[in-house]
Structures are given as C-alpha cells and as structure tokens.
Amino acid sequence: MTLLWIAIAVLLLPALWLLVSPLRKARALHDQQRDFEANDTSAEQNVAIFKRRLASLEAARERGDIDTARFEEDRLELERSLLEDTAFRERRPLKRANAGRIVVPVIMLAVVAVSVIWYQQKGAEGDLVLLAVQQEVQNDPEGSLTMYIERMEEQAERQPDNPNVWSELFPLYRETGQMSKAVDALERLIEIEGRIPPLLAQLAQIRFFMAERELTDEVQALVDETLEQDPRQPTVLGLLGINAFDSGNYEQAIDHWRRAIANIEDPNTVSSLRDGIRVAQERLGVEPEEVVAEGTGIRVSVSLDEELVGRVDGDASVFITARDIEGELPPLAVVRAQVSELPMTVTLDNTAAMSPQAQISQVQEARLVVRVSPSGQATPQPGDLFGDLESVSVGSIDDAEAVEVVINRVFE
C-alpha cells in the first residue's frame, strides 16, 4: 500500500506544479502591466488618427466629392468618436504581485484531499489489500488454506461491502466443507450484487446438496426465481437433472443435462454431464447415443472471415447449431466453443442434442448456423457475428469431408 500512495503522490505532483506556476510568473506579469499603463499612448494615437481622417474629409470636400452638409455631418461623427476614444477612464489600481497567494495553497490542499477521498470511495484499495493478503499467505513458509481463510475473514470484517471478499470466501468455505458459512457468504454477496441468476443458481445448488439432494420448498423457490430470469441457466438445469435422475425420471434428467451442456464452457463439467446422460440412457435400457448414432451427423469446419477478426475477443462464445429445414423443432445439435479455437472442425450428432425429441438423426437435411456471441448469450443479439449453410445432408460422418461455414456477417 505504501507504493500505491507514493504512486498517487507522484501523479499529483504535475497538477500541483501547474497550480504553483502562476505564482512564479506573478511578479513579471505585474511589472509588465505597470509599465504598459505608465507608457500608454493610446490617446495620442487616437488624436493622430482623427487628424488624418479630418484631412481626408476636407480634401474630399475641396474635390467636390461631398457637399458642405455631408462634410459637417461626417466631421461631427469623427469628433464624437474622438471624444469617446480619448475620454478619461479611471483604471483600477494594480494589486500587489503577491496578492491572493494564500488561495493557491488552499486549492492545492483541496485537490489532494478530494483525490484521496475519491480514491477511498471509488478506488480499488480494498481489492489491492486482498491481493496483498493472497501474496502474503503464498510467500509465507507456514501459509495454508486455513490461514488464508482467516485473513479473508479479517478483511470481511474490515470491508463488509466489498463483493470480492465474499466471492472469495464462498468457494473457500464450500471446498473446506463449511457449508453454513458458505451459504452466509453467498447470501451476503447476493445482498451486495443483487439477485442475479448465477448467484441464485449457486445458492440453490448448495442448499440442494445441504438438504441431501432434496428439492425443498426453499430450493424450488430459488430455482423458479432463477429460471424466470434465465431459462438456460446451466447450474440450475444440472441440479434439476440430478433431482430427476434420483427420482427415476431418466428422460427428464437427460433433457435437463442436454440443455445445460449447451450453455456450459467448462469441459470437465460437460464431460461429467455427458457421463450422467450415458448412465441415464443405460437405466432406460437403451444403448447410449454414442453407439446408436455412431457415424450419423454432420462434420462442420468453422472459420472466421479475416475482415471480422478484429471485431471480437478470443474468449467470445461460438455457437455451432444444426436446425431442421422447416424451423419447427428445437435445435437438433449444439456445440459451444470460443473464437480463440477457430478455425476448428466439430461433429454435430445426437450427443450434442438438446432434447431427445429433436435429434439430428431424425432428419435427412439440416441448416447450419454458426454465431459468435461476445456477450455469451444463447439467444441472438444485435452485433453478433454469424454464418450459415442451407440444406446440408445428414448421414455417415466416418469418412465424409467436413462442410465449411464461414462467419462473415453481422446480426442486425
């Protein structure tokens, strides 16, 4: 923190130097103004200009360019102008060169005070403290997870309104089996950040497991609130899949897990859900889809047009989707990736289906739609990039060449 305040002081120095600069020039400017007023010859110059204009006016009368009436009128105007230009105007006396010096130090102190107060209110001082705590524990030979939790709890008392404290404590409590404390930390985080779907979903999940995988009224209320805001929330869909599986409703479990997979980026989580789907299929007495649909689907090569490369970040989501030609069914297959993985080749088959009622093996032709979503939303948003391909045959993918889809347009 000492280095931080030194850095702030260094940044304030140029501003303070600019405030002091007028004081250094005050004496010279005062002397210049005094000399100017003492040697002011503007009145003599105005009289000389009047004489030249009057002479010009008299010459015009002698040449007959103007008559006597016009001459008298113009001369009267010149005399009136001379009176206005040479009228005595009392000047305010010059102030001393050091007048008002006290104001500058006051402003300098105000600048420093406002900067410090603003940083304390709006800056990331608290987050820097958290980083310092983390580094301190890591560098301590006797550092441990318990020590780290204790230090973070101290920060929670000092920074009760810092969401980063609670978002750090919640997973620590969960990983160490302190579920009640994990719930308290998560509820405190929700108070600060608001009742947003990801946090509500995590609260529903942890309460679900605390209730020994029972969908209690409290958990159901959290699930309903989450799905009302985000029907595709993967954590809640995974939870509902577990509940359906435990109840013996394997088809519903498969449906929930497939929908969750379409919105999950973590490959380990996706793999776990796919394992759950295979087990559920075995419980139903059907052969897992990897065997049933082996060699059935579409291989797709996806690339991003060079002109659009600079418009998205590498971590933007890519949705590769197969749909029926008529557009009457839900997506037949969905694979999610990232822009950093492009160009890539994927396989769209029944393992990527979102619903057992809509699978790519059920159609002979499909429409391919590839969309880049910087926001990560599954529904199209203005500014998303996309490319598509109509009427692609669905069939054996063992030796088939991949069809190519280029992302080359912007969704309006």
Burial status of residue 20 (CB atoms within 10 A of its CB: 0-12, 13-18, 19 or more): exposed
Question: Is the Cα dihedral 379, 384, 389, 390 positive or negative?
Answer: positive
Q: Which long-range contacts (CB under 8 A, 24 or more apart) does 55-63 make?
A: none
Residue 197 in 3-state DSSP? helix
Retrieve residue 238's tokens. Answer: 């995974």
Each residue's pLDDT tens digit in the chain (412 positions)? Answer: 455 556 556 666 676 666 666 666 666 665 666 666 566 566 667 777 778 887 887 888 888 778 888 888 888 887 787 777 665 555 566 666 566 566 666 666 776 676 666 655 554 455 556 566 566 656 666 667 787 788 888 878 888 888 888 888 888 888 888 888 889 999 998 998 899 999 999 999 999 988 888 889 999 999 999 999 988 898 999 999 999 998 889 889 988 888 887 777 677 787 788 888 888 888 887 766 544 444 578 889 999 988 888 888 888 888 999 988 887 778 888 888 888 888 888 888 877 777 666 788 878 889 999 999 888 777 788 888 999 999 888 877 666 678 999 999 888 7
Retrieve residue 205's tokens. Answer: 């999940």
Measured CA to CA, the distance from residue 52 to residue 46 in angstroms comes to: 10
Measured CA to CA, the distance from residue 174 to residue 171 in angstroms comes to: 5
Backbone angles phi, psi at 26, to 5 degrees: -60, -45
Question: Is the Cα dihedral 9, 14, 17, 19 positive or negative?
Answer: negative
